[in-house]
Amino acid sequence: MTNIALIPVRSGSKSIPFKNIKPLAGKPLVYWVTKAASDAKCIDKVIIATDGNEIKNVVKEFQMNKIEIYDREPQNAKDDSSTESAILEYINKSDCNQNDCIFLIQATSPLLQANDIDNMYATMIRENSDSALSCVRCKRFFWSKDGIPLNYDYKNRPRRQDFEGFFMENGACYINSVKNILTCKNRLFGKISVYEMPDYTSIEIDEPDDFILVEKLMEKLGYV
């Protein structure tokens, strides 16, 4: 069995051109999750799935032993292409075994660290789950647009310290076996483990201001 970190990185981001190689805290954005995946003890190889030569050239400069570059097909790297299409393309065109695990890791979550990947995988194994995802705990009160409370009784408002909250996907990492992905065509399947990460990891790089905010957090938290 091989544990494969798959990092899909398109060259055609419209909100921020070449977002995945834009500098963040002195390194290209994709560097941070690539380093986390490469340093994770449970990961055997790191696949950068990209459609852009600029991204390939940048990634090659990282000189990390576990990295392999996969040429992503243009039809699966469009604005409206699903991430699942990239996962399935890689599985179908590579020498994956059905028992291999795919760790889908997204470059827009640079606060992910190697120990998160290792601990998340250990949680899934310990809980005997089919798949896993990373989340943060959210203690916000949500309402529908029709004025209906969705996750609490406003007549009996709980104190924040007594409110367990709910888990929200932070988009950093998902784990599933090749067999399960081929069966359900989805990054998640069956019994799912939820791995809790710190609140600050809820930030994903989608807009220019996100770079500024995350850089400040990385400096404060000792990433750089």
pLDDT one-digit tens code per residue, 176-217: 999 999 999 999 999 999 999 999 999 999 999 999 999 999
pLDDT of 77 higher than 90: no
Which of 72, 137, 140, 157 is catalytic? The answer is: 157
Domain edges within the chain: 3-135+169-221
Cα gap 116→172, rounded to integer Å: 10
State the pLDDT at residue 211: 95
Phi and psi dihedrals of 54, rounded to 5?
A: -60, -45
Crossing angle (nearest 10°) for helices 114-126 and 29-39: 50
45 Cα distance to chain centroid: 16
CATH topology of domain 3-135+169-221: Spore Coat Polysaccharide Biosynthesis Protein SpsA; Chain A (3.90.550)
Global pTM value: 0.93
Q: What would the mean pLDDT of 88-113 be, rounded to a whole number? A: 96
State the pLDDT at residue 224: 80
Q: 72 an active-site residue?
A: no
Q: Which residue has the tokens 């076996």?
A: 177
Mean pLDDT of the chain: 94
State the pLDDT at residue 183: 96
State the pLDDT at residue 172: 98
State the pLDDT at residue 81: 83
